[in-house]
Each structure stands twice: as structure tokens, then as C-alpha cells.
Chains A and B, each alone.
Chain A
Amino acid sequence: AQSVTQLGSHVSVSEGALVLLRCNYSSSVPPYLFWYVQYPNQGLQLLLKYTTGATLVKGINGFEAEFKKSETSFHLTKPSAHMSDAAEYFCAVSDMDSNYQLIWGAGTKLIIKP
């Protein structure tokens, strides 16, 4: 069965520093991978996704993620954190076995220190 692990329920970085949010997944078939962002009292917004092709995926707001099959990882990065990046981030996986239904990680709350 598929599963998603996000390391760290809270991650704190200084403004201007590198953002790294970790996501590891399990899937027995080629996965589709997603990162979503949620601001307080709002729905989730798609940041980026990997389906096929290039393993480095660029998303909105300067975020990117790299699919590493050998490590079963899809970590989210941003070179320089901004105060507006403070939000909760969710990683998700889907594949043929789940009928393309998304399996979610528990979420990581990103805190930006001034």
C-alpha cells in the first residue's frame, strides 16, 4: 500500500535561508507526486507535481522539487525563504494501485523567522 512520510511536523528557517521540506513515499508502481500549500483557514493549493519526464519540477512561488526514484523521495526546496512562505505544506502520492486517489502526508508547518 502507498504511504507518504513527511519528516518534521514543524520546520523553522530564517528569512532568506534555504527551505527544505522532506517527503518520502512508498509505491510499488511509478508514482505521481504532488506538493500542496495551505494558508490558514483556506483550501489547499497545488504548488507543483511530478507525473513523468524531467525529475526536477518547478512550481509556483519559486519552489521546486526533485523526484529521486532510488531514494523514494520528493523533497521540496526554495533557495531563499520569504515571510509569505509561512504555511502548511502537504506531500501526496498517487498511482494506478490507488486508482489515482491521493495518499497524503501528515503535513509540515513552515515557520519563517525574521
Chain B
Amino acid sequence: DGGITQSPKYLFRKEGQNVTLSCEQNLNHDAMYWYRQDPGQGLRLIYYSQIVNDFQKGDIAEGYSVSREKKESFPLTVTSAQKNPTAFYLCATGRWGFGYTFGSGTRLTVV
């Protein structure tokens, strides 16, 4: 059954710590996206990748990093440079003209 899997569902980060959010897909989609969602602010694009070994910054890339070493995987690292990382993070895959398929999200909280 094809789909997109985000893990973990909940993640807690201490001050100054880097954490990595996982996103895996078996839909064979070329494009993958990371969004951040804060209450009342809709979806904000962090990074996206349209092909393996290539990725582009979105609107709010500062304090985040990604890699795309294989088609199925697009992990997001929230670095210590991100001063306000508490948010709901969504990963999505896309096919040209067909819209996106979303994962179920990771809720990151700073403790």
C-alpha cells in the first residue's frame, strides 16, 4: 500500500540540540516538501526537492537542513540555530499537476 510515513509523531528537543525528522515515501514521486505549521499561520515551506541529490530553500529555511540521498527519503534536521522550533511539521510528496500527498505530521516541542 503506497504512502508517506513521518516519524516520530511527537518529538521533544532540548535547548541547543539538533533533531532529525524522518520522511519516507513509496509512491515513487520525484518531488518532496517540508512544511511548518503554526496556529493560525497556514503552511510555510521550509525546503523542497524535485530530484535526488538536489534541494531548494523555501520561505523559512533558516535553522533547518535537509538531504535527498535517495528518492524515497527526505529527512529534515532542525538545528540549534532555529530559535523557535516548536511547531507541527508536515512532509509531502508531489507529482506534476496532481497535487501533493501528505504524511501525518510530527509535532516538535522544545523542553
Contacts and interface: CB of A to CB of B under 8 A. Distances in A.
Interface SS of chain B: strand
Contact of B97 (A43, A46, A100): A100
A40 to B, nearest CB: 10
Contact of B103 (A36, A43, A94): A43
B97 A32 contact: yes
Most buried by A among B96, B98, B99, B104: B99
A102 B100 CA distance: 8
B42 interface: yes
Interface residues of B, number: 23
A45 interface: yes
Nearest to A35: B99
Contacts of A49: 98-99
Contacts of B48: 101
Contact of B96 (A90, A100, A107): A100
Interface in A33-47: 34, 36, 41-46
B107 interface: yes
Given A34-B99, A46-B99, A49-B99, A104 B42 contact: yes
Interface in B12-60: 31, 40-43, 48, 50
B88 A90 contact: no
Interface of A: 9, 32, 34, 36, 41-46, 49, 51, 90, 92, 94, 99-102, 104-107
Given A94-B99, A107-B42, A107-B43, 15 more contacts: A32-B99, A41-B88, A41-B107, A43-B6, A43-B103, A46-B99, A51-B97, A92-B99, A94-B97, A100-B96, A101-B48, A101-B94, A102-B100, A104-B42, A106-B41
11 contacts: A9-B40, A36-B102, A42-B104, A43-B90, A43-B105, A44-B90, A49-B98, A90-B43, A100-B94, A102-B94, A102-B100
